[in-house]
Structure 1
Amino acid sequence: MTEDFYCDEVLSGKTSVKKVLETEHVLAYHHTKPFYPVHIVAVPKKHILSLLTVTEEEQPILFELLSVIQTVAQQITDEYGACRVLTNLGNYQDSKHLHWHIAYGDPLTKGGNK
């Protein structure tokens, strides 16, 4: 796998995804290798390394991303009664591109997936 799965595979179109919601700067789609029964990933279309590296110029994109996450989380919560919203940082962040997971249900496996 590359350091940035989202730029190299998803946003480039090399890996096709099932879109959930797309805005000018954000894409939310069904995870390509889900860890949960309902597992959606939301990413900025612009490369941003991590939540810890968001610049002042990128804050509007972060707010748009959070708005998409909120919308998707509301949809999942309405349908299933709950959801998780999480991001990983540092060594926990396998793909070096800011991304959030919006998920519902018990883990499908014991390992993690992209």
Structure 2
Amino acid sequence: MADETFYTGSDFYCDVAIPDPGALDVVHEGRRVLAFHHTRPFWDVHIVVIPTRHIASLTTAGPEDEADLRALLSAVQQIARDVEREHGAAAVLTNLGAYQDSKHLHVHVHSGARR
């Protein structure tokens, strides 16, 4: 399984996850979106959903990213629905600026206790 522990770049998703989804515990894989269980989970259930085309963050996305954002939000909605159904609750989160470790738009869907 891919592990971010020793990764030192700025875009784990473009550099590691997208080129080798077979190394991940994939939840959803489509032409525009990849979702997988986080390699270093912060919560009991922790899924990361990313566009497969590089978009730096939610605040840098533009009109040219509309199709990717629609696909991303559709996948987030379905995954959050599944997590909520299975675990009774789900939260959806994205980070921006200094809070964003990997400079690639990604959405966390999580549930349960913080680890």
Question: What is the aligned partner in structure 1 of residue 15 from structure 2?
Answer: 8
Cα distance, 1:23 vs. partner? 1.7
Confirm or deny: 8 A CA contact 1:30 1:39 kept in the other structure: yes
The yes-or-no answer on 1:91 pairing with 2:98 is yes
Question: What is the aligned partner in structure 2 of residue 41 from structure 1?
Answer: 48
Question: What is the aligned partner in structure 2 of residue 59 from structure 1?
Answer: 66
**RMSD between aligned alpha carbons?**
1.2
Tell me, which stretches of 5 or more residues in structure 2 are unaligned?
Answer: 1-7
Greater RCO, CA 8 A, separation 6+ = 1
TM-score by length of 2: 0.90
Runs of 4+ aligned structure 1 residues displaced above 2 Å come to none
Cα distance, 1:56 vs. partner? 0.4
Question: What is the aligned partner in structure 2 of residue 112 from structure 1?
Answer: none
Cα distance, 1:13 vs. partner? 1.4
The yes-or-no answer on 1:77 pairing with 2:81 is no
TM-score by length of 1: 0.91
Q: Deviations over 1:66-113 (max 9, x none)?
A: 0000000000000111011000001000100000000001110xxxxx
Confirm or deny: 8 A CA contact 1:36 1:105 kept in the other structure: yes
Confirm or deny: 8 A CA contact 1:86 1:100 kept in the other structure: yes
Aligned residue-pair number: 108
SS at match of 1:52: coil
Identity %: 47
Cα distance, 1:43 vs. partner? 0.3
- CA distance in 1: counterparts of 2:20 and 2:88, whole angstroms: 33
Confirm or deny: 8 A CA contact 1:9 1:15 kept in the other structure: no
